[in-house]
Amino acid sequence: QVQLAESGGGQVQTGGSMRLSCAASGRTFSGTSMGWFRQAPGKEREFVAAKSWNGGNTYYADSVKGRFTISRESAKNTVYLQMNSLTPDDTAVYYCAATREWNLLLLPGTYDYWGRGTQVTVSS
């Protein structure tokens, strides 16, 4: 069992930056792939970024490529999402997720554990 807790959300103006954190507990973190998803009001949950458990593969949605960076700090059992050049289209609840799989990381169904989410609001 893995417990995930996101933090770092809030409100920022267009063009600003924000860093989200996701602390994992309850299981060996090193063998777990981590992903970030988001869900805006009235829309389906969508993939944002993921990093495989061995750190060898990193994936980004086209909409965030070049602006967002996913990283992990194994010593703290924490994964981060650095978000730069934010726009109102980035407004959503952001969720982190964990899985023992190393592929198909763009699909929500691959993940076994989810955090409760943190709200990110970007104002124009």
User: What pLDDT does residue 102 have?
Assistant: 85
Where is pLDDT greater, at 11 or 1? 11
Burial class for 50, CB neighbours closer than 10 Å (0-12, 13-18, 19+): buried
Q: Which of 16-25, 35-44, 45-54 has the lowest mean pLDDT?
A: 45-54
Q: Residue range 58-80: average pLDDT?
A: 94
- Assign 74 to helix, strand or coil: helix
Query: What is the pLDDT averaged over residues 92-113?
Result: 94
User: Residue 55: is its pLDDT beyond 70?
Assistant: no
CA angle 48, 88, 93 (to 5 degrees): 50
Question: Is it the case that residue 53 has pLDDT exceeding 90?
Answer: no
User: Cα–Cα distance between 46 and 5 in angstroms, integer?
Assistant: 19
The label of the residue with tokens 């995930």 reads: 4
The b-or-e profile of 80-89 (16+ CB within 10 A means b, else e) is: bbebeebeee
The pLDDT of residue 43 is 96
pLDDT higher than 80, residue 79: yes
48 neighbors 32 (Cβ within 8 angstroms): no
% of the chain exceeding 70 in pLDDT: 97
Please report which confidence band the pLDDT of residue 106 belongs to, taking 50, 70 and 90 as the band edges. very high
Average pLDDT over all residues of the chain: 93
